């Protein structure tokens, strides 16, 4: 149930994400420049709609390959949705293994880079640096390239940087599942502080015990569809019962179930989403607005060719003027 007194922080309507599947990289390049059709479409998300309010801590659950990470990548701006509307009311910080780290830079250089990207001045960064390094527990490794870090060390660095930036909306994607237990406990303590401050948090974990402890709502995504969304205890119980049922299946039955779900993801169409929205009582203008294609797949060959012509023209101008200047 929504609390009308609280503002929304995230609102999504009919989010979809399509990935075009190609036999190899050559076929993908042909598609980009010649308009060749992909061998298949794969809809990682199939029309997700939800509203998250200030102070909500939302656990996101679902079996592997159900679209959890795809949704988080869309929320954080890493990739665009194919269609659907997304409204974010605040700054976002993402804590995930390797998220946003430059592997060629040292830990210290990554801290400075990420802080500069957040609009901090060099003086502010210098003042904050000792606190971030201390929380990360990286010690002398802070001046080593991130490519030499373990996954646990990268998770420590990423968590320390993001949480210090004090985002309005925090996304935690399995980042606490790596590294040592002491740091995980400290990180969970930091998350508790954020919860006490009324931050909005998306919490992805395969540990249902953690989900039950930290969240007040759970979003269950199953093969790109919203299976259920509501109060933690209710949805966590439903999901746990579902996973037990999967575990009781024979290997053949489980493979048959997964194959059927993935087939549905390939056969999905925007027309199906339009029909569903119509059944939900939406008007035609609303449906058109939600189902409008928005991401790269919508580019035409003409626009790509036009871009190439402009780039080649600019390169020619650079060469011409450099020769004239000799």
Q: Give the pTM.
A: 0.81
**Position 302 confidence tier, pLDDT thresholds 50, 70, 90:** very low
What's residue 155's pLDDT? Answer: 87
**Position 320 confidence tier, pLDDT thresholds 50, 70, 90:** low
Determine whether 51 is exposed, middle or buried from the number of CB atoms within 10 Å of its CB (0-12, 13-18, 19+). middle
CA neighbor of 68 nearest in space, from 237, 84, 272, 76: 76
The model's pLDDT over 134-168, given as tens digits with 9 standing for 90+, comes to 999 999 999 999 999 998 899 899 999 999 988 99
The model's pLDDT over 228-276, given as tens digits with 9 standing for 90+, comes to 999 999 999 999 999 999 999 999 999 999 999 999 999 999 999 999 9
At residue 55, what are phi and psi to the nearest 5 degrees?
90, -10
Residue 99 has pLDDT above 70, yes or no: no
The model's pLDDT over 172-219, given as tens digits with 9 standing for 90+, comes to 987 666 668 888 889 889 999 999 999 999 999 888 999 999 999 999
């Amino acid at each position: 149930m929504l609390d009308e007194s609280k503002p929304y922080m995230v609102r999504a309507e009919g989010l979809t994400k399509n990935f075009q599947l190609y036999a190899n990289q050559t076929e993908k390049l042909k598609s980009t420049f010649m308009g060749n059709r992909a061998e298949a479409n794969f809809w990682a998300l199939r029309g997700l709609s939800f509203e998250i309010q200030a102070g909500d801590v939302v656990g996101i659950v679902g079996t592997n390959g159900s679209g959890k990470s795809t949704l988080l990548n869309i929320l954080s701006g890493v990739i665009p949705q194919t269609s659907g509307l997304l409204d974010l009311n605040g700054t976002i910080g993402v804590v995930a293994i390797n998220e946003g780290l430059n592997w060629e830079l040292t830990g210290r250089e990554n801290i400075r880079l990420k802080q500069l990207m957040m609009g901090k001045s060099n003086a502010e960064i210098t003042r904050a640096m000792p606190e971030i390094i201390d929380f990360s527990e990286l010690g002398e490794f802070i001046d080593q390239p991130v490519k030499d870090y373990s996954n646990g060390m990268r998770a420590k660095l990423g968590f320390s940087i993001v949480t210090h930036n004090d985002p309005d909306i925090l996304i935690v994607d399995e980042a606490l599942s790596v590294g040592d237990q002491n740091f995980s406990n400290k990180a969970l303590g930091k998350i508790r502080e954020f919860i006490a401050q009324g931050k909005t948090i998306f919490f992805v974990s395969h540990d249902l015990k953690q989900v039950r402890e930290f969240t007040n709502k759970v979003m269950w995504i199953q093969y790109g569809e919203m299976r259920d969304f509501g109060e933690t205890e209710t949805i966590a119980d439903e999901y746990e019962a579902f996973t037990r049922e999967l575990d009781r299946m024979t290997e053949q039955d489980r493979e048959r179930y997964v194959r059927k779900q993935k087939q549905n993801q390939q056969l999905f169409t925007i027309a199906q989403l339009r029909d569903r929205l119509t059944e939900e009582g939406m008007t035609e203008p609303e449906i058109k607005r939600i189902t409008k294609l928005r991401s790269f797949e919508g580019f035409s060959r003409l626009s790509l060719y036009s871009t190439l012509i402009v780039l080649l023209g600019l390169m020619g101008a650079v060469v011409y003027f450099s020769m004239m200047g000799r």
